Amino acid sequence: MSMSDWNIVTRSMRHRFFSSTITVLSVAVACGLVTLLISMRNAGENSFKRGTGNVQMLISKEPGPLPSVLNSMFYAQAPGNPITWAQFQQLKSSYPFAWAIPTQLGDSYQDAPVMGTDLSFFTSFQPAAGLSWSLQSGTYFEEPFQLVLGSDAAARLGLSLGDSISLEHGAPRTQGGHTHDEFEFSVVGILEPTGTAHDRAMFTSLESSWILHAHDRREAIFGHGIVTIADDLIEEDKKITAVYASLGDRKAALVQVLSALRRDPDWTVANPADTVGGLFSIVSNIDQVLLAMAIAVMLSSGVSILLALYNSMEQRRRQIAVLRVLGASRARVFGLVLTESAIIGLLGGVLGLGIALIGGMLVSTALAQRVGIVVEPALPIDGYLMIVLATVALSCLAGVIPALAAYRTSVVRSLRPVG
């Protein structure tokens, strides 16, 4: 024949452009959903675990380890059960910590949480394992009412070195808060990005946080118009909400210390990485349901390929009969239909990968902006290749029945004059 098999197949698809396009798109959407879910599964867990940094123990008085980690490390909301400074000092002296960093949450600026801590937060704590803090510009806080901003907080709120702001009592998006307009905080430093939730936070000294809340206490006693300084602090004002702690290289003692703390009813202790892993083991049950739904969509797209090609057989019986008269064998006709279904699967698979990559970028951007977590959905190259090949195989399988219909087309009956 003068016309190649490729030309025959592509001309057939162009002739049925609308139905071919819809079928390719349905395959692409299904392939994109499967690819996105598979690539997001491990990326999410790895990103959250990365955000726990080098903290071996997170110690608080929260109702359980999970709310402790979500509130004190991922800034979900302000912790509700404070720790007195005396309790913290007793804790430090009772266990062989390499370092123990006090943290205090409860204030915010617009949608950025503000953490009160000390300089060991920047020298001992690593926001991601193996990644130390570094400054994009400025310095760390050295005096009360100085702020160091996470990179995302600075960029999103349009703040720069030297700017002055007043903090708000309460975590972001909470009701009933008020602005501490009696105190102005000056921005003295902006941190380099870390790809963790800490990028969307602000950091100040514990003393600064304590003075804000001491002022509220003193106003209730003495009325408005008073001035509160560090000398006005009493033990009741010196509270924190969590302790980031590590034993350093003494990992053999970690299990013993964790067990001792867990037996103490005064403390809630979490191993952040294990807690995040436990969270994702729960989420994975939902994830499996979503994956099953995506596979069901993929199978339904296979059915759409079958229906599209099978319905077209009724319109193409005369064309197939002519090909047979011109010398095309039954096997060749069978192969032409399978080739068309394979092309639909290939186009849908490649387009689906594009949909998954774009969707992954959108999800990653949204998570970075809302949660401060950098999730990079990605698969190895051979993973993407396997998904495309599986899509082509499914399409070919869906094309078998229409191909058999073409194979069995009667030349005499199909060329019989109409009427």
- Contacts of 22 by beta carbon, 8 Å cutoff, 6+ apart: 304, 308
Q: How far apart are the C-alpha atoms of 154 and 161, rounded to whole Å?
A: 9
Whole-number pLDDT of residue 2: 44
Whole-number pLDDT of residue 327: 60
Whole-number pLDDT of residue 318: 58
Length of the chain: 419
Q: SS3 of 26, please? A: helix
Whole-number pLDDT of residue 395: 83
Segment 143-156, tens digit of pLDDT: 999 999 999 899 98
Whole-number pLDDT of residue 412: 47
Encoded amino acid at 115, one letter: M
- CA separation, residue 147 to residues 124, 282, 295 (Å): 19, 37, 49
Whole-number pLDDT of residue 292: 78
User: What residues in the chain have per-residue pLDDT under 50?
Assistant: 1-2, 412, 414, 418-419
Q: What are phi and psi of 7, to 5 degrees?
A: -65, -40
Q: How far apart are the C-alpha atoms of 198 and 126, rounded to whole Å?
A: 11
Going 230 to 233 to 235 to 238, the CA torsion angle's sign is negative
| 263 contacts 10 by C-beta, under 8 angstroms | no
Strands 185-191 and 164-165, by their bridges, are antiparallel
Whole-number pLDDT of residue 1: 40
185's tokens:
């905080």
Could you tell me the residue ranges of all domains in the chain?
5-48+278-415, 57-270
Q: How far apart are the C-alpha atoms of 258 and 59, rounded to whole Å?
A: 10
128's tokens:
């991601």
